[in-house]
Copies of this chain bind each other. A is one copy, B any other.
Amino acid sequence: MPPNNFPDSIIDTLSIDCLIFGFKDGELDILLVKHAEGISKDRWALPGGWIQYNESIDDAANRLLHSLTGVSNIYLEQLRAFGHVDRYPANRVITIAYYALVNADNYSLNPGFTASDVQWFKIHDIPKLPYDHNEILYFGYMHLKQKVMNEPIGFNLLPKKFTLHQLQQLYEAILETSLDKPNFRRKLLNMNLLKPCNEKQEDVSHRAAQLYRFDKKMYDKLREKGFIFEL
């Protein structure tokens, strides 16, 4: 497929790195893989790979994410490209970073071909990563903080059905603040983006909370009328 003067993949020039966010036990997590080979063997790093000649960069990111988690249809967006000259030691590699929001309950992890291990790390307990991966992580986290304030994407980190308290804990974890419970409830419910399920929480040793789901159709409708999600 590629013309004669091109390699089979755009290998060694352009890579993809994924920032995969999860949420568990009230804390924000990042998925890291332990490299089984190459320059950074035995070190934890962001999962990534090479872009093939005949796939778009979005496809490449989805392929990598799928091979790692076994799940498709995950919330995935490009963060941006990172291209310092010396970010990769062996040769010049520019990487395009993506970030994904997943509900960690939904699947089992799979180290894939080039990794020997996969593991969730708490966002505040990340080891020193190779290359500029810590910088990418920091940038992505700041981006998420910003984004979560202005778009209803946090739901992707929760199960389909969730309680208001879970949602609040999620925002508290991401934004690193504490929020007033009654005020948080009031604000979210007044947006009309949460549709109550006919179900309640189970197996809790106190009054069971109402379960809600994010009403995407309603969100689309409201947005057409000029509604802007906020906080």
A residues near B, CB below 8 A? Answer: 2-3, 6, 10, 13-14, 51, 53-58, 78-81, 83-85, 91-92, 94, 96, 146, 150
Contacts and interface: CB of A to CB of B under 8 A. Distances in A.
B150 A94 contact: no
A231 to B, nearest CB: 10
A92 B146 contact: no
Q: Which 7 A-B pairs have the closest CB atoms?
A: A57-B83, A81-B81, A56-B84, A81-B96, A78-B80, A56-B85, A56-B83
Chain A interface helix/strand/loop/mixed? loop
A200 B6 CA distance: 61
Contacts of A2: 91-92
Nearest to A90: B3
Contacts of A85: 54-56
17 contacts: A2-B91, A2-B92, A3-B91, A10-B94, A13-B13, A13-B14, A14-B14, A14-B94, A55-B85, A56-B83, A56-B85, A57-B81, A57-B83, A57-B94, A58-B83, A81-B81, A83-B96
A85 B6 CA distance: 14
B83 A80 contact: no
A107 to B, nearest CB: 26
